[in-house]
A and B are shown apart, each in its own frame.
Chain A
Amino acid sequence: MDEKNSHSAFITVIGHDRVGIIAAVSTLLAEAGVNINDISQTILQENFTMIMSVDLSKATLDIKALADRLEAKGRELGLSILIQHADIFHAMHRI
């Protein structure tokens, strides 16, 4: 596995748009020591979609604990929030 990617992950937020989504997610990430490399937003099939590229190298939580917190935050905001290790996207989309 590519060493440089071993700490990178993607967070995907899908649901109805509302005020404060980015603030809520980025606050949670900041508290966990997760650095955000990049953010993009689109509206896809009437759904708000946000994709964040994040760096976990200085994170205070492991990816599973982070996934639990993001999921809980998602439930609170009525959104689906997923975090996935970047390796899965390398495997599927890069030869």
Chain B
Amino acid sequence: MAKGMFEDFEILETIRMFQEEHLDVRTITMGISLMDCAAGSADETCRRIYDKICSRAERLVAVGEDISREYGIPIINKRVSVTPISQVAASSRTTDYAVFARALERAADNVGVNFIGGFSALVHKGYTDSDRRLIASIPEALATTEKVCSSVNVATTRTGINMDAVREMGEVIVETARLTADRDALGCAKLVVFANAPEDNPFMAGAFTGSGEPECVINVGVSGPGVVMKALERCPEADFGELADTIKRSAFKITRVGQLVAREASRRLGATFGILDLSLAPTPAVGDSVARILEAMGLERAGAWGTTAALAMLNDAVKKGGTMASSYVGGLSGAFIPVSEDSGMVEAVELGALSLEKLEAMTCVCSVGIDMVAIPGNVPATTISAIIADEMAIGVFNNKTTAVRLIPVPGKDVGDHVEFGGLLGAAPIMAVNPFSAAAFIQRGGRIPAPIHSMRN
């Protein structure tokens, strides 16, 4: 029977997607410019940062909960991203930038968000003095806070790869792991090294509010691996054209939900509607896995030969469905393949189906990169830098965002497991190629931008 405009099956489909297939709005992220918080002292800067976040984001959590209730849409996280702190703190005449991280943490506690992103620096072409101080403060900042996320952009297609920063970030990751060794190097789960970092990404740990962004902006990330998987399970014998079509239809519906939430949230919060990030973001929950989508497409396990092709098609179909549903798609927008956060990926690693090298190949065709991968604690910093360099090269030379979030767990080796808890999940320690890249990393300087960066 028609209810005015809708058929019963449409209403029930919506409910099924929310209740059984884990369709949710993963995050409403409020981007707040902190440009006007820069002051001549650290104390004053911290006070302004705290006050501004608390006043701008005061109603963020309540508004998110209201929207969730009125539309029956699960909204999992409410978060805040801010101007890269290296820019805000530059005039503060202090060398210890961890104080700014602690100011962000207090503000996050006050407004009730579970993560705040923007303890960040953009050094793809070179460092300011402030960038140096920020990067040097990352290990302490992440060890003395729980909710603060840090990111450093070390490469872009336009500028090439800052290999000095690549070398330093290997060392920063090792030091962050050492300072949070009692928590299985949890600090490293909140630290992302980027190529071509987007300024409007709502997803943690890589969210920050770029300097091209408005004063206060709402960016929304939707997620629906379960919906896509169920749709694929309903057409087991479809060819690839039909498969792509099925994925597009699901992505369209998922994106429209996000669009509705983003528009409502920005209206109620008096903020600009920024973008919708239509990523397929897995969680450790069963039925919320990107690896399982690859399996539903016909692969025995994620990581089997065919995985890169399957992921390429999935990623492309998601984008095509999503761009029709919203005019303002941005952020990362692609399939995420974090290992610890995806139960199917974890299983694939444990069975020997998925290696670090295959993950690297997969990052050529989907969003982000080597993400939430636990490696042995004794891997040298130069090797971590070399993994970063490879991943940055993929991003820079293919005109896309790539990122590295590696967790070298002190005292653990291949065969061991780590448990981060919550959305961060659990992971087996993955094997790393033992041959050295030390001499390569020690060269320093900048890898020049690729020829196709010259588009003018």
Residues of A within 8 A of B (CB): 8, 10, 12, 14, 37-38, 40, 42, 44, 49, 51, 53, 63-64, 67, 82-94
CA distance A38 to B11 in the complex (A): 14
Residues of B within 8 A of A (CB): 1, 3-6, 8, 10-15, 66, 69-73, 253, 256-257, 259-260
Shortest C-beta distance, B76 to chain A (Å), equals 17
Given A10-B3, A83-B72, A88-B73: A44 in contact with B12 (beta carbons within 8 A):
yes
Contact B66 A84 (CB under 8 A): no
Interface centre among B12, B13, B70, B257, by most chain A C-beta atoms within 10 angstroms, is B70
Contact B6 A10 (CB under 8 A): yes
Q: Which residue of B lies closest to A42 (CB)?
A: B8
Given A63-B70, A83-B72: A40 in contact with B14 (beta carbons within 8 A):
no
Contact B11 A12 (CB under 8 A): yes
CA distance A8 to B71 in the complex (A): 11
List residues of chain A with CB within 8 A of the CB of B4: 8, 37-38, 53
CA distance A38 to B2 in the complex (A): 9
List residues of chain A with CB within 8 A of the CB of B256: 91-92
Q: Contacting B11 at CB < 8 Å: which of A37, A63, A89? A: A89
Contact A92 B1 (CB under 8 A): no
CA distance A37 to B260 in the complex (A): 24
List residues of chain A with CB within 8 A of the CB of B6: 10, 53, 86, 89, 93
Shortest C-beta distance, B25 to chain A (Å), equals 11
Given A44-B12, A88-B14, A89-B10: A94 in contact with B72 (beta carbons within 8 A):
no
Q: Could you jot down 12 A-B contacts, CB within 8 Å?
A: A40-B1, A42-B8, A49-B8, A64-B66, A82-B72, A84-B72, A85-B70, A86-B6, A88-B14, A88-B73, A92-B253, A94-B5
Q: Which 6 A-B pairs have the closest CB atoms?
A: A84-B72, A53-B3, A40-B1, A91-B256, A91-B260, A88-B71
List residues of chain B with CB within 8 A of the CB of A10: 3, 6, 11
Q: Which residue of A lies closest to B260 (CB)?
A: A91
Shortest C-beta distance, A64 to chain B (Å), equals 5
List residues of chain A with CB within 8 A of the CB of B3: 10, 37-38, 40, 51, 53
Shortest C-beta distance, B99 to chain A (Å), equals 40
List residues of chain B with CB within 8 A of the CB of A37: 3-4
Shortest C-beta distance, B75 to chain A (Å), equals 12
Given A37-B4, A38-B3: A93 in contact with B10 (beta carbons within 8 A):
yes
Interface centre among A14, A64, A88, by most chain B C-beta atoms within 10 angstroms, is A88
Contact A49 B12 (CB under 8 A): yes
Contact B8 A89 (CB under 8 A): no
Interface centre among B3, B8, B12, B253, by most chain A C-beta atoms within 10 angstroms, is B3
Contact A51 B8 (CB under 8 A): yes
Contact A91 B10 (CB under 8 A): no
Q: Contacting B8 at CB < 8 Å: which of A8, A40, A91, A94? A: A40
Shortest C-beta distance, B247 to chain A (Å), equals 16
Contact B69 A64 (CB under 8 A): yes
List residues of chain A with CB within 8 A of the CB of B5: 89-90, 94
Shortest C-beta distance, B300 to chain A (Å), equals 30
CA distance A37 to B3 in the complex (A): 8
CA distance A93 to B14 in the complex (A): 9
Shortest C-beta distance, A95 to chain B (Å), equals 8
CA distance A85 to B13 in the complex (A): 15
Q: Which residue of B lies closest to A88 (CB)?
A: B71
Q: Contacting A85 at CB < 8 Å: which of B8, B71, B253? A: B71
CA distance A84 to B12 in the complex (A): 12
Shortest C-beta distance, A5 to chain B (Å), equals 8
Q: Which residue of B lies closest to A83 (CB)?
A: B72
CA distance A82 to B70 in the complex (A): 10
Contact B70 A64 (CB under 8 A): yes
List residues of chain A with CB within 8 A of the CB of B73: 88
Interface centre among A40, A63, A82, A93, by most chain B C-beta atoms within 10 angstroms, is A93
List residues of chain A with CB within 8 A of the CB of B11: 10, 12, 51, 89
Q: Contacting A12 at CB < 8 Å: which of B12, B66, B253? A: B12
Contact B14 A89 (CB under 8 A): yes
CA distance A83 to B260 in the complex (A): 17
Q: Contacting A91 at CB < 8 Å: which of B13, B15, B259? A: B259
List residues of chain A with CB within 8 A of the CB of B10: 89, 92-93
Interface centre among A40, A67, A92, by most chain B C-beta atoms within 10 angstroms, is A92
CA distance A88 to B68 in the complex (A): 11
List residues of chain B with CB within 8 A of the CB of A94: 5
Q: Contacting A92 at CB < 8 Å: which of B8, B66, B70, B257? A: B257
CA distance A84 to B8 in the complex (A): 14
CA distance A21 to B147 in the complex (A): 46
List residues of chain A with CB within 8 A of the CB of B69: 63-64, 67
CA distance A12 to B16 in the complex (A): 12
Shortest C-beta distance, A42 to chain B (Å), equals 7
Q: Which residue of A lies closest to B7 (CB)?
A: A93
List residues of chain B with CB within 8 A of the CB of A38: 1, 3-4
